[in-house]
Structure 1
Amino acid sequence: MSSAVAPKKYKAIIFDWDGTLMNSEARIVDAIQMAARECGLEVLPYDVSKQIIGLSLENAILGLYPTLDQAMVVAMSEAYTQSFLEQSDVEMVPFDGAEVLLLNLKQSGLITAIATGKSRKGLNAVLEETGFGVYFDMTRTPVESASKPDPLMLQQILQEFDLDVCDAVMVGDTSFDMEMAQNIGMDRVALTHGVHQTEVLQAYEPVAVLHSLQELNNWLLAH
């Protein structure tokens, strides 16, 4: 007689996008710097510019340039979007193992979702470009929700699938991801290959700190 297999702990895996599944940090920073030049603003150093990756575009711009008025925020937003989607020639590719991970999760019957700071236009474009859209049951951006670390995106995903907080885990590479999940008591896994340093991520008490999508694949399939 075979022994019963214990059910997996999680029913849903919620991913951040930039810096978690997509190696897009350099492209984002390049677009921010291009937009700043176009708008006549100070071009901030790379390490400063990258710290706001993960926030909604408006919040990210105000994080870097807190004294801008609304008209300039709009101008920067438009310049950034054009730079990111059309002008920057910095390569942007999924991290190694991203598609294998997503395929394995889908074949395991798990719900998969995205909670990102990208705009809806930006996310739709990159999901189409990569072909990864087929792997996700739901996606949320600040356009139809709220910017991290507000947990509204996570709450919307849970509500859509009638899940409890304990049924899902948030996977991300920034303090914004970790804080968003912490704000509603959701388990969180930190990836160190993205934007924020390990010590910053550990402050939010993730259930695991992993260094690659291969490690994440093994950890998730065991949980």
Structure 2
Amino acid sequence: MAVRLKGKDFDIVAKAVVFDKDGTLTQGLKVWKRIFEKQMEVSKEMNLNIESEARKLFGVDIEEPYIPLAIAYSSEEKTLLAASIWLSHHLPWDECRNLASEMVKRALEKMTDEELFEPVDGAREAIEMISKFVPVAIATSDSRENVERLLKNWNLESNVNYVITSQDVEEGKPAPYMLQKVCKVFDLCCSEVVMIGDNKVDVEMAKNAGSKIITVGNFLEGANGWIKDFKELDISKA
């Protein structure tokens, strides 16, 4: 089987669809800033005064789409927090790493699913519809735990066939390895798969793998088409 995805500037047939998570399925920068502020709240509870250094390292106050806050891998997020602790308090580096991991854990525990997983319009419905026709995967730089929490909250556990994160491959986006592994699992050529993402690293990953890509929010150079949100995406059996 195959699915046909149509928008105002594209008409693509695919045998599988791979979604990015943050900024594609869920609201991007708005959610990342929420998480950052919760981490800073937790840092104060841990008697750590790191916000000044952390804001600089994450680029929180810079209005650009490619700041570390937006595109850092989940492992890099902990490294940036650990660096903020070191710069602010000069604690031993292994202690900084442990404190950063605890900070991430406690911040996520304090956040509601609604805060973490505010959806892009039509995202849940798009996964439900596409999964009727072809396999669906999520390829993300976020942690597997967060993806599983999202799928459970959205009641989509049976609609997504495979999840892959940057921790599962030798190198994350924009390297092609996540998409290549998805294609191997689905027994498909990369040219038969379409990626849906929101960031230039998604575009580069798709191009490096030989897959087509649709971007959400804005058109990015190299994309095969774009939609403002999933309400603009027409989905049908091919």
TM-score (norm 2): 0.73
Q: Counterpart of 1:32 in structure 2: which amino acid?
A: F
Match of 2:120 in 1: 95
Task: Give the drift of 1:74.
Answer: 4.9
Corresponding letter in the other structure for 2:182: I
1:147 paired residue number: 172
Q: Counterpart of 1:132 in 2: which secondary structure?
A: coil
Which amino acid in the other structure matches residue 228 of structure 2? H
Equivalent in the alignment of 1:19: 23
Give distance in 2, aligned partners of 1:79 and 1:48: 25
What is the root-mean-square deviation of aligned Cα atoms in Å? 3.0
Structure 1 unaligned segments of length 5 or more: list them: 1-5, 193-197
Residue of structure 2 in register with 1:40 after alignment:
49
Structure 2: distance between partners of 1:66 and 1:209:
37
One-letter amino acid of the structure 2 residue matched with residue 40 of structure 1: N
Question: Which protein is bigger by CA-based radius of gyration?
Answer: 2
User: How far apart, CA to CA, are the structure 1 residues paired with 2:126 and 2:3?
Assistant: 19
Counterpart for residue 90 of structure 2: none
Contact 1:15–1:114 at 8 Å: present in 2 too?
Answer: yes
Of all paired residues, the percent bearing the same amino acid is 23
Give 5+ residue unaligned stretches, structure 2.
5-12, 87-92
Map 1:41-56 onto structure 2 (within 5 A). 41=50, 42=52, 43-44=54-55, 45-47=60-62, 51-52=67-68, 53-56=70-73
Q: Is 1:80 aligned to residue 104 of structure 2?
A: yes
Structure 1 position 172 matched with structure 2 position 206: no
Distance 1:100 1:35, change over 3 A: closer
Q: Deviations over 1:41-93 (max 9, x none)?
A: 2242354697333442123455788786565355334312321x222367342
Q: What is the CA–CA distance in structure 2 between the aligned matches of 1:36 and 1:151, rounded to whole Å?
A: 34
The amino acid that maps onto 1:86 is E
The answer to whether the 8 A contact 2:3-2:130 is kept is: no
Q: What amino acid is aligned across from residue 194 of structure 2 in structure 1?
A: V
8 Å contact kept, 1:54–1:177: no
Q: How many residues align?
A: 206
Aligned to 2:9: none
2:24–2:196: 8 Å Cα contact kept in structure 1? yes
Deviates more, 1:110-119 or 1:73-82: 73-82
| Deviation for aligned residue 1:133 | 1.7
Q: Are 1:202 and 2:225 counterparts?
A: no
**Alpha-carbon distance in structure 2 between the residues aligned to 1:79 and 1:152:** 30
1:221 aligns with 2:225: no
